[in-house]
Structure 1
Amino acid sequence: MANNSSEPSSSLSFTSSSPLSNGSITHNICSSNASDHCRNLEVISLSKLSSNLEQLLIDSDNDYSDAEIVVEGILVRVHRCVLASRSKFFHELFKRGKDKGSSKNEGKLKYCLSDLLPYGKVGYEAFIIFLSYVYSGKLKPSPMEVSTCVDNVCAHDACGPAINFAVEVMYASSIFQIPELVSLFQRRLLNFVGKALVEDVIPILMVAFHCQLSQLVALCVDRVARSDLNQISIEKELPCELSEKVKLLRRDLQQQDSENYAPVVDALSLKRITRIHKALDSDDVELVKLLLNESDITLDEAGALHYAAAYCDPKVVSEVLGLGMANVNLRNSRGYTVLHVAAMRKEPSIIVSLLTNGACASDLTFDGQSAVSICRRLTRPKDYHPKTEQGKETNKDRICIDVLQREMRRNPLAGDLSVSSQTVADDLHMKLLYLENRVAFARLFFPLEAKLAMDIARAETTSEFAGLSTSKGSNGNLMEVDLNETPLMQNKRLISRMEALMKTVEMGHRYFPHCSEVLDKFMEDDLPDLFYLEKGTQEEQRVKRTRFIELKEDVNKAFNKDKAEFSHSGISSSSSSSSFRESVHYKARKCVIKT
């Protein structure tokens, strides 16, 4: 009968000839199976408990909450028993009952999250991720709309939004005393420090300092000290204790390796620069002028415009620009122009002021970032893509990107300049060819206007590059090689030419906007076809001629608009009108782009 038993222990009892060992094995296996079964049951039970508790948080149909927390204007319903059992902070908070920072709402205690935080902030999405962990014991993935940026080429492994989101969850975990979550996010932030731009290390250092995470503080201080971030910015961004640590470590590093560190500014100059910055902080541009007159420090030497764009009221930036004493495209020691600094701040009025005063949107940082790509790396999809509600302002992040993108489109080097500087160098010849042809057609269609724009930009003083305007045998042609010209000399010559042509196109857009619009569209849509009017089938030639006639009409209309708008400013274009009407059709048919 034993052989017919279906129990596992009975069948296993015949595997040994020793009754003693047989019983021992059976007992051990049963115990092992029972233990595994208990563990599995425990895992299943904990998983169900986790899911059930999380459902309390997300179930909007059945509300059993007894407290509310307002986060960024959004009401979050919570359960005091859950929070108090998981967090010592909330245990003490709820034990006090109705206290400072709380109020009653329909019998529920109501708190504002900002009142519970001693410093800084925690956004809605970060708080929900934190709460979800508190309820379920499981960490959800970071929401893409707040933990990534809108730069399509970014890996999102160390961009501004990714770091800021991790900082917010870390902050919430520390303040509300969930140690295991603090440990997890400390590891994440440690990983960010080596990858991030030094500007983005600052918020990591701040949260580490306030949360008393010594290992993370030490790593961040070391990273900042070894960076090229100037001491003025460090003292402005960090509390005295941290800035002093950075200063002392940087001094030690400079003594060890003086060749790789910039010389320290002398004490007198630093004192004068500091006074200028303090005057800017006080919105007192008149005092800035007095300080400049009393010393030999210039606005550029003081980095005044960079400082104002980073820290001062937008009206102060406008007033400093109005002095006419600062180079709007000056680079600081890190290779950042004022526009790059303004892009980091993401204040639309400052960006517009700089562009209006001649800031170049296509200038790149040493690592190949333009102002618009800097903005993209700092902007969350949540802030870029929301629907604009009537009566509400558009998000500033979106405005900054849109303004810079429009400026880039207006610029002949428009495009996604968030690529590396090597890619930009590879495209130099193609962009120069575009610019040469763009200016050549401007001279063909609008001779006087183009000459005026070139005179302002001093484009006639630079050597020409191979393009439609290059004369026969010109030494600017790419096909010709000057054996005495080194690659460095050639790049310098070509960049000089490109800057002059860019300035020419910029002047054209500024003073002859309607004519420039026609040229932009022509270069984009019609350039490949209209200068081969005799090529193709009869039908294709007919279509080209029809489009060419339309182009002539567009050019005439644009010219008349600009002439009317600028007649009051004393800019005369009558000679250009006659020269255009007499020659544009004939010349255009004869032009062939040389490739």
Structure 2
Amino acid sequence: METSTVTSSSSPPPSPSPSPSPQAPQAPPANLDAVSLGRLSANLERLLDPAFLNCADAEVVLADGGDEATVPVHRCILAARSNFFLDHFSSLSSPAAGGGKPRLELAELVPGGRHVGHEALVAVLGYLYTGRLKPPPQEAAICVDDRCRHQACRPAIDFVVESTYAASGFQISELVSLFQRRLSDFVNEALAEDILPIIHVASTCQLPDLLNQCIQRVADSSVDRHYLEKELPGEAFSRVKEIRRYSLHDETDESTLDPEHAKRVRNIHKALDSDDVALVGMLLKESAITLDDAHAIHYAAAYCEPKVLAGMLNLDSANVNLKNDSGYTPLHIACMRREPDIIVSLIEKGASVLERTRDGRDALTICKRLTREKDCRKKLEKCKERSKAYLCIDILEQVIKTKSSISEERLCEEVQIATPLLADNFHMRLLNLENRVSFARIFFPSEAKLVMRIAQADSTEEFTGLTLANFAKLKDDLNDLKLRERFDALTKTVELGRGYFPHCSEVLDKFLNEESTELFFLETGTPEDQRIKRMRFSELKEDVLKAFSKDKAVAAIASSTSSSSSPRYDGKVRHGNKRAKLLR
């Protein structure tokens, strides 16, 4: 049906204005129709505001639930503007004696109604109320990735898809045509896997041209066949498979190259569909196939419960960073699903958050470009449960932050030293620690001595470097106990120094990263070299002393605050702020 737009309105005539002076030019008469229509449209739009909730006489109930599970509507307006609603409301029985409002379940009202969100429904209803289609709200139609252009990210696609379901269900043909053109533009720009929701809406709403365009684009892509089989409607997948059969994609289809291998893979996937980890283990033992051969971790990350994936990761030594034919690791798949428990399980088993897809996206980027601003608000309301999207992004950001903040010394502890080259690297790191602590002892000897005593570094032997005589021995004995003890003690010393003297540590970090360690040896080199090094050393000393003053000021404030906020007890000694004592 064709939905008419508002073309006239009755409104009071404008109040008379004073006659213009003879010198002033006569203003053209105002377009009263345009003014009236704009005013009427604005007034009707207010009816969708929550403030007018009590004026509504019906409710549309969304399938996704949550705080915005219902949208109040006005039957007389919708019936006057839409034959669909006129027929529907006419068929309803009279309201109950108690005056209850009719509740329309959107999932039952229109095909695809369970996919429609609050913002999309309000946008389409707003068109019925006002005759105008407003731009989508930013928080519901763009992702949280600041580097995204937001031209074809998933939230933008989802908003138009949801709006298409609503417009088609309400039989608003002009909106369906408009949304179809927008979706067609998305197909040419979006990632292939993000086109799948468009295939569903094109199939449900019977948009054959859009459906053909989507199927051709997906068939030409490298999206995994198992993923398509799981996600697409049966007829659409059959068409994709038929197109691929006559293209280069068929050359990599294991079902054609090795039917027995494909059968075993299907059996493992069926066992996963049944959440039967024990059966998966039996299938692995009975055949030569492995979890990696079946991309079973990818499959479990996409479709299984978190506990099933955890059980799979304990079966055998699966490669958690293995990429499938589409170039995705299991962590990439888990981020597409946005399931926090699965992301955590994979990271705990060694999944890299820095691995990138073929188009350069890492796990965090994938997650962000699937997440609306609405789902990842920084200011969370009190007592509100965080969305899974928010948790996934938070987990990934924390892991990346932790990895980036790990010092080189800590990384050295995690590396298994097994070659002469790595041995040199270990000794170089140890020398760097010695140099750093030596500089600290020069600038504030008493404080550095105290920190070294707390870290028990004063009881270990100083490492002065390797000589030709002991280099070969150390290469064969990389776990030398004394070196390890010294390394651990100096590492703890540096960590304590960062806690007690953060500003000083920042100055030393910058110096050690930018300057040569030769600055430590002021008496070496030509006279000009010595002059330059002494000058730079004086500048460094001044910077450190300024930073040291800042650290003492912060500690004094912390000590004063602690003393003033703590009760005093006569005859008892109170333990002061440890950091403040250390700086005195």
With the length of structure 2 as denominator, give the TM-score of the two structures: 0.67
What is the rounded CA distance, in whole Å, between the counterparts of 1:107 and 1:48 in structure 2? 32
* Aligned residue identity for 2:76: C
Q: In the alignment, which residue of structure 2 is the partner of 1:96? A: 91
Q: Determine if the alignment matches structure 1 residue 340 to structure 2 residue 322.
A: no
Structure 2 CA distance for partners of 1:365 and 1:548, relative to 1, 3 Å: farther
How much does 1:68 deviate?
A: 2.0
**RMSD, aligned α-carbons:** 3.7
- Per-residue CA distance 1:496-529 (angstroms, 9 max, x = gap): xxxxxxxxxxxxxxxx997896799899663223
- Per-residue CA distance 1:52-74 (angstroms, 9 max, x = gap): 43233338359543222234443
What is the rounded CA distance, in whole Å, between the counterparts of 1:117 and 1:315 in structure 2? 36
Structure 2 CA distance for partners of 1:205 and 1:243, relative to 1, 3 Å: same
Structure 2 CA distance for partners of 1:269 and 1:514, relative to 1, 3 Å: farther
Q: In the alignment, which residue of structure 2 is the partner of 1:76? A: 71
Structure 2 CA distance for partners of 1:126 and 1:104, relative to 1, 3 Å: farther
Q: Determine if the alignment matches structure 1 residue 327 to structure 2 residue 319.
A: yes
Structure 2 CA distance for partners of 1:243 and 1:55, relative to 1, 3 Å: same
- Per-residue CA distance 1:314-334 (angstroms, 9 max, x = gap): 111100111133111111112
Q: In the alignment, which residue of structure 2 is the partner of 1:178? A: 172
Structure 2 CA distance for partners of 1:37 and 1:388, relative to 1, 3 Å: closer
What is the rounded CA distance, in whole Å, between the counterparts of 1:409 and 1:519 in structure 2? 21
How much does 1:115 deviate?
A: 3.8
Alignment of 1:540-555 (within 5 A): 541=541, 544=544
Q: Determine if the alignment matches structure 1 residue 292 to structure 2 residue 284.
A: yes
Structure 2 CA distance for partners of 1:209 and 1:459, relative to 1, 3 Å: farther
* Aligned residue identity for 2:380: T
Alignment of 1:1-400 (within 5 A): 42-58=33-49, 60=51, 64-71=55-62, 72=65, 73-74=67-68, 75-98=70-93, 106-119=99-112, 120-254=114-248, 264-385=256-377, 387-400=379-392
What is the rounded CA distance, in whole Å, between the counterparts of 1:389 and 1:395 in structure 2? 12
- State the SS of the aligned residue for 2:247: helix
- The answer to whether the Cα contact below 8 Å between 2:153 and 2:370 also exists between their aligned partners in 1 is yes
Unaligned 5+ segments in structure 1 are 1-35, 415-434, 443-448, 472-511, 552-595
Q: In the alignment, which residue of structure 1 is the partner of 2:443? A: none
Q: In the alignment, which residue of structure 1 is the partner of 2:558? A: none
How much does 1:452 deviate?
A: 5.0
How much does 1:41 deviate?
A: 5.2
How much does 1:105 deviate?
A: 7.3
Q: Determine if the alignment matches structure 1 residue 453 to structure 2 residue 445.
A: no
How much does 1:296 deviate?
A: 1.8
What is the rounded CA distance, in whole Å, between the counterparts of 2:265 and 2:60 in structure 1? 46
* Aligned residue identity for 1:179: S
Larger mean Cα displacement after TM superposition, 63-72 or 234-243 = 63-72
- Per-residue CA distance 1:167-224 (angstroms, 9 max, x = gap): 0111100111111000000000000001111111000110110001001100111011
- State the SS of the aligned residue for 1:359: coil
Structure 2 CA distance for partners of 1:450 and 1:215, relative to 1, 3 Å: closer
What is the rounded CA distance, in whole Å, between the counterparts of 1:249 and 1:146 in structure 2? 35
- Per-residue CA distance 1:92-114 (angstroms, 9 max, x = gap): 21011139xx9887443222333
- The answer to whether the Cα contact below 8 Å between 1:103 and 1:110 also exists between their aligned partners in 2 is no
- State the SS of the aligned residue for 1:142: coil
- State the SS of the aligned residue for 1:155: coil
- Per-residue CA distance 1:286-322 (angstroms, 9 max, x = gap): 1001111222211101000000001111111100111
Structure 2 CA distance for partners of 1:539 and 1:224, relative to 1, 3 Å: closer
- State the SS of the aligned residue for 1:60: helix
Structure 2 CA distance for partners of 1:44 and 1:460, relative to 1, 3 Å: farther
Q: In the alignment, which residue of structure 1 is the partner of 2:466? A: none
- The answer to whether the Cα contact below 8 Å between 1:85 and 1:91 also exists between their aligned partners in 2 is yes
- How many percent of aligned residue pairs carry the same amino acid? 44
Alignment of 1:526-545 (within 5 A): 526-529=508-511, 535-536=535-536, 541=541, 544=544
Structure 2 CA distance for partners of 1:98 and 1:386, relative to 1, 3 Å: farther
- Per-residue CA distance 1:397-418 (angstroms, 9 max, x = gap): 1111111111112224x8xxxx
What is the rounded CA distance, in whole Å, between the counterparts of 1:157 and 1:103 in structure 2? 48
- State the SS of the aligned residue for 1:208: helix
How much does 1:544 deviate?
A: 2.3
What is the rounded CA distance, in whole Å, between the counterparts of 1:61 and 1:318 in structure 2? 49
- The answer to whether the Cα contact below 8 Å between 1:464 and 1:470 also exists between their aligned partners in 2 is no
* Aligned residue identity for 2:356: L
* Aligned residue identity for 1:310: A
How much does 1:468 deviate?
A: 6.9
How much does 1:383 deviate?
A: 0.9
- State the SS of the aligned residue for 1:397: helix
- The answer to whether the Cα contact below 8 Å between 1:53 and 1:136 also exists between their aligned partners in 2 is yes
What is the rounded CA distance, in whole Å, between the counterparts of 1:128 and 1:227 in structure 2? 35
- Per-residue CA distance 1:453-483 (angstroms, 9 max, x = gap): 3326x57667999x97699xxxxxxxxxxxx
What is the rounded CA distance, in whole Å, between the counterparts of 1:178 and 1:550 in structure 2? 67
The count of residues paired between Structure 1 and Structure 2 equals: 438
How much does 1:44 deviate?
A: 4.5
Alignment of 1:472-511 (within 5 A): none
- The answer to whether the Cα contact below 8 Å between 2:254 and 2:262 also exists between their aligned partners in 1 is no
What is the rounded CA distance, in whole Å, between the counterparts of 1:149 and 1:285 in structure 2? 36
How much does 1:393 deviate?
A: 2.3
